[in-house]
């Protein structure tokens, strides 16, 4: 009980109207953070191992971006060990401000990598459907690796101004008191991040998926018209080998993208409102932040439920582990 009382003294816990109520809230926050940390690390390690054990997954060029997202999400889970360990054993050193800045910067960079990868995945699927004949010449493994390197560099650079006193990179739900009281958001820096990251990524994703499903719908209509005119097996075979696999795979990626923005949208809205000094609520800050961070685990669940090749690789990995045990 003394350790819990110590936690409540040093952490910024929302909704703490009374002392015992604050302790209860701190315990709830600790449970949420520890559980999410475990799920994110375990889930993304599973995705990474399955990709290494299932060669068929490497036939998709988007596997480069999916694996990059898995590593980024894994690093999110590892980064979450910082607040987890601080909750379990609080350090009263003078480096609290540096810890807050580094932690906020790392989380922001990793979420930027995920967002940029989702935008690149949508562009990749758009090229695969709109330019099927020249796709292999346009999208090569070398260009994909260069694109991933540029994503990491861009994500690291865009949040660097936060170290020079220009606003907060966007991490809320602060665990350390210094983060909540002394490190404030800045409307100009928030607008800078929105214009250079959130808005372009959202526009690219909306544009590409709108045209992907539009083209797939037109293609399906043409196949149905051909079947009505020429009810033969040749037409059925042509239809099955057309855009149908691409459309199914695009749907899997569209689900991942949709869940990403559903979980991150409350965080982005609160980020904008807090930066404009319109709303400041510690409870909303904590909930929106960790709801967004939970997306790092949701990606694993969606991909494992939606992709049959991934499920096959997961089953083989499980059988290998069970047989070795």
**Would you kindly state where each structural domain of the chain is located, as residue ranges?**
27-226+245-317
Weakest mean pLDDT among 35-44, 133-142, 173-182: 173-182
pLDDT over 70 (residue 186) = yes
Angle value at C-alpha 202, between 199 and 204, nearest 5 degrees: 105
Torsion, Cα of 87, 268, 76, 37 (10° steps): 40
Contact 73, 114 (CB under 8 A): yes
Collapsed DSSP state (helix, strand, coil) of residue 102: helix
Per the listing, tokens 């909303």 go with 284
pLDDT over 90 (residue 295) = no
pLDDT at 258: 83
pLDDT at 57: 60
Instruction: At 81, give phi and psi (nearest 5°).
Output: -65, -25
Q: Measured between alpha carbons, how far is 270 from 143 in angstroms, rounded to an integer?
A: 36
Of 131, 161, 169, 146, whose CA–CA distance to 64 is shortest? 146
Which residues does residue 176 pair with via DSSP β-bridges, in sequence order? 11
Q: How confident is the model at residue 146 (pLDDT cuts 50, 70, 90)?
A: very high
pLDDT over 60 (residue 3) = no
Of 153, 184, 151, whose CA–CA distance to 170 is shortest? 184
Q: How confident is the model at residue 51 (pLDDT cuts 50, 70, 90)?
A: confident
The larger pLDDT score, comparing residue 72 to residue 5, is at 72
Question: Tens digits of per-residue pLDDT, 204-213?
Answer: 988 988 888 8
E strand residue ranges, 136-255: none
The pair of structure tokens assigned to 239 is 């239809």
Contact 147, 85 (CB under 8 A): no
Q: Measured between alpha carbons, how far is 7 from 94 in angstroms, rounded to an integer?
A: 17
pLDDT at 240: 44
Contact 96, 176 (CB under 8 A): yes
**Regarding the domain with residue range 27-226+245-317, which homologous superfamily does it belong to in the CATH classification?**
Rhodopsin 7-helix transmembrane proteins (1.20.1070.10)
pLDDT at 102: 83
Contact 4, 23 (CB under 8 A): yes
Question: Tens digits of per-residue pLDDT, 238-279?
Answer: 444 444 556 666 677 777 788 888 888 888 888 888 888 888
What DSSP assignment string belongs to 124-150?
Answer: HHHHHHH-TTTHHHHS-HHHHHHHHHH
Average pLDDT (76-84) is 80
pTM check: above 0.75: yes
Of 100, 93, 103, 88, whose CA–CA distance to 7 is shortest? 88
pLDDT at 241: 44
Half-sphere exposure of residue 137: CA atoms within 13 angstroms, side-chain side: 4
pLDDT at 79: 84
Contact 275, 167 (CB under 8 A): yes
pLDDT at 153: 95
Secondary element (H or E) of residue 252:
helix 244-275
Of 126, 269, 114, 98, whose CA–CA distance to 182 is shortest? 98
Contact 8, 26 (CB under 8 A): yes
Question: Tens digits of per-residue pLDDT, 281-294?
Answer: 777 888 888 888 88
Expressed in angstroms, the distance from the first to the final Cα of the chain is: 40
pLDDT over 80 (residue 303) = no
């Amino acid at each position: 009980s003394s350790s819990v009382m110590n936690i409540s003294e040093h952490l910024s816990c929302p909704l703490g109207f009374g002392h015992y109520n604050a302790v209860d809230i701190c315990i709830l926050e600790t449970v949420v953070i520890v559980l999410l940390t475990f799920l994110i690390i375990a889930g993304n390690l599973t995705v990474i191992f399955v990709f290494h054990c299932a060669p068929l997954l490497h036939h998709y060029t988007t596997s480069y971006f999916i694996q990059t997202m898995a590593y980024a999400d894994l690093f999110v889970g590892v980064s979450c060990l910082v607040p987890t360990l601080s909750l379990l054993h609080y350090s009263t050193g003078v480096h609290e401000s540096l810890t807050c800045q580094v932690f906020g910067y790392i989380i922001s960079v990793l979420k930027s990598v995920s967002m940029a990868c989702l935008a690149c995945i949508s562009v990749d699927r758009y090229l695969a459907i709109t330019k099927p004949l020249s796709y292999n010449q346009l999208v090569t493994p070398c260009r994909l690796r260069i694109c991933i390197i540029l994503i990491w560099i861009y994500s690291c650079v865009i949040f660097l101004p936060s170290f020079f006193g220009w606003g907060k990179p966007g991490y809320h739900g602060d665990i350390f008191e210094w983060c909540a009281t002394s490190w404030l958001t800045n409307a100009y820096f928030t607008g800078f991040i929105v214009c250079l990251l959130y808005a372009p990524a959202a526009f690219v994703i909306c544009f590409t998926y709108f045209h992907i499903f539009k083209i797939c719908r037109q293609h399906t209509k043409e196949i149905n018209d051909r079947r009505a005119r020429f009810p033969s097996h040749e037409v059925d075979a042509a239809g099955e080998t057309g855009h149908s696999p691409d459309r199914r795979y695009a749907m899997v990626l569209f689900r991942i993208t949709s869940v990403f923005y559903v979980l991150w949208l409350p965080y982005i809205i609160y980020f904008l409102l807090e930066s404009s000094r319109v709303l400041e609520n510690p409870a909303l800050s904590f909930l929106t932040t960790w709801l967004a961070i939970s997306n790092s685990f949701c990606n694993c669940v969606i991909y494992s439920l939606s992709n049959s090749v991934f499920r096959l690789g997961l089953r083989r990995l499980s059988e290998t582990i069970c047989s070795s045990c």
